[in-house]
A and B are shown apart, each in its own frame.
Chain A
Amino acid sequence: MRPTLLLPVLTTAALLGSWEALSGTGILPAEVPPVSDIAAWLWANIGTAALWTAVSQTLAHWAVALAVGATIGALVGAAMASVPVVNELLLGMVEFFRPIPVVVYLPIMLLLLGARPVVVVVLAAVAALWPMLLQTLYGVRDVDPVTTDTARVFGLTTPQRLVWVTAPSMLPYFFTGLRIASTITLLVAIAMELIGAVPGLGNTLATYAGNGRYDATYGVIVIAGLLGVGLNAVFERLERRALRWHSAYRTQHT
């Protein structure tokens, strides 16, 4: 085991151990079940269709919302960075809408569309849009002027500069935006399922908690956490692969 992994594992084990010990003394409320109960529930339910249906529903909300939100964010961000007029037109609106938590739109969306998956997807997509928009905006602006000059001197056309210079140059920002957007999208998707009673992990969580099934509630929390960690790991891998040339990931072999 790598030494960097050893310490976090130790702290986690210590936390879970003292939780279990405290549960044994009976001073914890019923809403905080023993770790062993949660583990038992997970063990019994990890293969059940009900759990995986909820996971797949949430993942579907996440995937569609991220795809739509990130695409719109990246396109708008790129347009703002490269066309000054677009920037002037949209900057005020971006500054106004960006800090608003998407949950405030939920009641209206529920009234308009009902408790349906599309509500979750739309709101999660709005949440995904902002980090992607900002990162793309910074990324396109941050293209090195020397590199741009080089491309111009050697007569590269605008589409060629876009594909061979701007796109690779902004890739680190793109991946940062994508990772942040992915995390926020998952978070918002689960929250909207929970509040709006739309089928998915969030709704499953609300149902278990409402019925006093605390071992199951915590089990679903663990699943949601693992889902977040897993998705983040996937994006980190993609980033590492696409940015082999970048100074942060270079391996020197001269």
Chain B
Amino acid sequence: MLSVTNLRKTYGSGDQAVEAIRDMTLTVDKGEFVCIVGPSGAGKTTMLRCLCGLLKPSSGTVTLDGAPVTGPPKEIASVFQDYSRSLMPWFTVRRNVGLPLRNRYRSTADRAERVGTALDAVGLSGFGDRYPWQLSGGMQQRVAIARGLAYAPEILLLDEPFASVDAQTRADLEDLILRVRDDTGVTMLLVTHDIDEAVYLADRVVVMSARPSVVLETVEVDLPRPRDQVTTKRLPRFAELRTHVLTLIRRTALDGSAPTPDHHSTIGERR
């Protein structure tokens, strides 16, 4: 279980200090699919960087199964938005996926098998010897997802993973992620600014306010699974949920203040 308590992050100091996150409290249970949405500039990426141990919170705690996160934990893998910078152009697809396994599996055969399984899972079995830049954007992001999966994490963090691909590819990748979740049971925490995507994928949607960010509300998504791009999105309940989230986000984006928080969050200071 990943648990964030009263997380606060301020950049800079004195007069130049920028408060990115004021107060975030949330928990992600094992096997859950949680999406974090918020208006642009809401400190979503800052939040994820704190979760995966790349950034030290100004105050508050991040714990993983009870242990505080002080550096990148080996139970967490990440998929970044910018696949072209996150994949290493000097390595083939196979080496990119296998790179983080060096410290985990001694035998070359074990590593090769894990890489093969991960590439199978994202439908890229025949592309191991290609270089990332020889593939389309969607395929590159699948390589990044395969790399995350091969790491065999408990939690996969995805930072706006489909923001740089076209709409059709985005839908395909969303379904790929849902299938991977069903197959592996890995916990997913996905950050996005796309409300439809969040509602479509998640068990719970955590709505963040504009900067300085707090949790506005945690929306339980009671849509049936398995989900489908056409039938799920046609359900009246889908429309209700997305309208609800959209209203929250538009309000916070427009007036920039934090409305009544839900029971999950605590706000130290309110206008």
A, B from the same assembly: yes
Residues of A within 8 A of B (CB): 144, 146-147, 149-150, 152-157, 160, 164-165, 168-169, 171, 245-247, 250, 252-254
Extra contacts besides A152-B54, A245-B90 (6): CB < 8 Å: A147-B85, A147-B86, A149-B54, A155-B72, A169-B90, A245-B133
Check if B52 sits within 8 Å of A164, measured CB to CB: no
Q: What residues of chain A lie closer than 8 Å to B82, measured between beta carbons?
A: 146
Nearest CB of A to B31, in Å: 21
Q: What residues of chain B lie closer than 8 Å to A247, measured between beta carbons?
A: 89, 133
Q: What residues of chain A lie closer than 8 Å to B80, measured between beta carbons?
A: 146, 149-150
Check if A144 sits within 8 Å of B85, measured CB to CB: yes
Check if A155 sits within 8 Å of B85, measured CB to CB: no
Q: What residues of chain A lie closer than 8 Å to B136, measured between beta carbons?
A: 254
Check if B85 sits within 8 Å of A164, measured CB to CB: no
Which residue of B54, B90, B100, B135 contacts A168 across the interface (Cβ within 8 Å)? Answer: B90
Check if B88 sits within 8 Å of A165, measured CB to CB: yes
Which residue of B76, B89, B103 contacts A157 across the interface (Cβ within 8 Å)? Answer: B103
Give the 9 A-B CB pairs with smallest separation, nearest first: A154-B100, A146-B85, A168-B90, A153-B78, A245-B90, A150-B86, A245-B89, A153-B72, A144-B85
Q: What residues of chain A lie closer than 8 Å to B147, measured between beta carbons?
A: 154
Shortest Cβ distance from A145 into B: residue? B85
Q: Which secondary structure dominates chain B's binding surface?
A: loop
Contact digits for B136-161, partner A, Cβ 8 Å, 1 yes 0 no: 10000000000100010000000000
Q: What residues of chain B lie closer than 8 Å to A169, measured between beta carbons?
A: 90
Check if B133 sits within 8 Å of A153, measured CB to CB: no
Which residue of A149, A156, A171, A245 contacts B103 across the interface (Cβ within 8 Å)? Answer: A156
- Offer 7 A-B interface pairs, CB within 8 angstroms, sorted by A: A147-B85, A149-B78, A149-B80, A153-B52, A154-B99, A165-B88, A254-B136
Q: CB of B227 within 8 A of chain A?
A: no
Using a Cβ–Cβ cut-off of 8 Å, how many residues does chain B contribute to the interface with A?
29
Nearest CB of B to A146, in Å: 4
Check if B134 sits within 8 Å of A252, measured CB to CB: yes
Q: CB of B238 within 8 A of chain A?
A: no
Nearest CB of A to B50, in Å: 13
Check if A153 sits within 8 Å of B54, measured CB to CB: yes
Nearest CB of A to B32, in Å: 20
Check if B90 sits within 8 Å of A152, measured CB to CB: no
Given A150-B80, A247-B133, A168 and B74 contact (CB-CB distance below 8 Å): no
Q: CB of B77 within 8 A of chain A?
A: yes
Nearest CB of A to B157, in Å: 8
| A247→B77 CA distance, assembly (Å) | 28
Query: Which residues 124-140 of B sit at the A interface, judged by CB distance below 8 A?
Result: 130-131, 133-136
Query: Which residues 45-90 of B sit at the A interface, judged by CB distance below 8 A?
Result: 49, 52-54, 72, 74, 76-78, 80, 82, 85-86, 88-90
Check if A154 sits within 8 Å of B134, measured CB to CB: no
Q: What residues of chain A lie closer than 8 Å to B237, measured between beta carbons?
A: none
Given A147-B85, A147-B86, A150-B86, A156 and B133 contact (CB-CB distance below 8 Å): no
The residue among A164, A165, A247 with the most chain B CB atoms within 10 A of its own CB is: A164
Q: What residues of chain A lie closer than 8 Å to B49, measured between beta carbons?
A: 149
Shortest Cβ distance from B157 into A: residue? A153
Given A146-B85, A245-B90, A164 and B76 contact (CB-CB distance below 8 Å): no
Shortest Cβ distance from A252 into B: residue? B134
Given A150-B80, A164-B88, A245-B90, A155 and B135 contact (CB-CB distance below 8 Å): no
Check if A168 sits within 8 Å of B88, measured CB to CB: yes
Q: What residues of chain A lie closer than 8 Å to B99, measured between beta carbons?
A: 154, 156, 164
| A165→B49 CA distance, assembly (Å) | 20
| A245→B52 CA distance, assembly (Å) | 29
Query: Which residues 80-135 of B sit at the A interface, judged by CB distance below 8 A?
Result: 80, 82, 85-86, 88-91, 99-100, 102-103, 130-131, 133-135
Nearest CB of B to A93, in Å: 32
Nearest CB of A to B118, in Å: 13
Shortest Cβ distance from B84 into A: residue? A146
Shortest Cβ distance from B49 into A: residue? A149
Q: What residues of chain B lie closer than 8 Å to A149, measured between beta carbons?
A: 49, 54, 78, 80, 86
Q: What residues of chain A lie closer than 8 Å to B135, measured between beta carbons?
A: 254
Nearest CB of B to A250, in Å: 6
Q: What residues of chain B lie closer than 8 Å to A147, measured between beta carbons?
A: 85-86, 88
